[in-house]
Amino acid sequence: MRHRIMRAARLVLCAAAAHAPVSASAAGWDVGKASSNFELVTLDDAELSSRSIDVVHMGDVELTSGRIVAADPLAQPDRPALARTVAPGDYPVTLYRAFGRIAAASMRLAEGKPDHWELAVVPGQDPATLKDDEIFGYPVDAGVGCYMDADTLALIDERQAQVQAQKPDADINYYDDVLASELDANKNHYALHRPIAGKKGNVAVFWSGWGDGVYPVFWGLDKDGRPLVLLTDFGVIEKADGRREPKVQ
């Protein structure tokens, strides 16, 4: 199961030449075919529980610049931030668990129910280039995903340098030497990690559903195009329902 990816490998990571991301709906690519789980962010905890979905309120991610990185922070720490930015601030992250796995992760940016959804892209990706069975997503090779500010990458480097200085003759692995103990405290499902104590900038790290694969991120927008929520779908459930596990197709 570890190498199963969303929609049983039908959705693939694509490269695009264009540098101006466009609305998926405006381009004619149907975002509704990429995920059936957008309703997750509109349901309260009781409604989610009735659908056999467990909710974890992780706490706030501190976005110091408003440039959001959604990535596997261990396998691809230098992944570019998403093309769309938000105002700097502290934003709550919620995890949705089903079948013993993290099924999705959201970051709430403003109150309200999304009017429509767009695929979140990094510079150089254009949803207009996608075919019906393709999607842009971030690759996972260490079994975890995250939300963090692009500025926090420098703090991770600083922490790694500190650990290396403490163990000058050792090969440092950020997971084993830094993150493992924090993840262990939550059954390896998640951790709100602060690379440098006393410095603003933290990372919401969470288990990526089926583990390694490629996973899409989506913006939930209001009718004026203002971002209300960011959602990562790990392909564990369908139709925001954890009572029946999707069949491999």
Name residue, tokens 């695929």: 119
The three-state secondary structure class of 239 is: coil
Pairing of strands 144-149, 116-119: unpaired
The Cα 129–Cα 160 span in angstroms is 38
Name residue, tokens 């493992």: 180
Start-to-end CA span in the chain (Å): 14
Q: Residue 31: phi, psi to the nearest 5?
A: -65, -25
In a structure prediction context, what are the per-residue pLDDT tens digits for the chain, which is 249 residues long? 323 333 333 333 333 322 223 333 444 678 998 999 999 999 999 999 999 999 999 999 999 999 999 999 988 878 999 999 999 999 999 999 999 999 999 999 999 999 999 999 999 999 989 988 889 999 999 999 999 999 999 999 999 999 999 999 999 899 999 999 999 999 999 999 999 999 999 999 999 999 999 999 999 999 999 999 999 999 999 999 999 887 754
Token code pair at residue 106: 């959201």
Token code pair at residue 139: 């690759």
DSSP, res 238: B
DSSP, res 158: H
**Residues paired with residue 230 on neighbouring β-strands, in sequence order:** 107, 219
The pLDDT of residue 4 is 32
- Closest residue by Cα to residue 13 from 217, 204, 237, 203: 217
Burial class (CB in 10 A: 0-12, 13-18, 19+), 11: buried
H or E segment at 73?
none
**Which amino acid belongs to residue 7?**
R
The Cα 107–Cα 67 span in angstroms is 13
The pLDDT of residue 131 is 86
The Cα 125–Cα 136 span in angstroms is 8
Pairing of strands 101-108, 213-215: unpaired
The Cα 171–Cα 64 span in angstroms is 31
DSSP, res 101: E
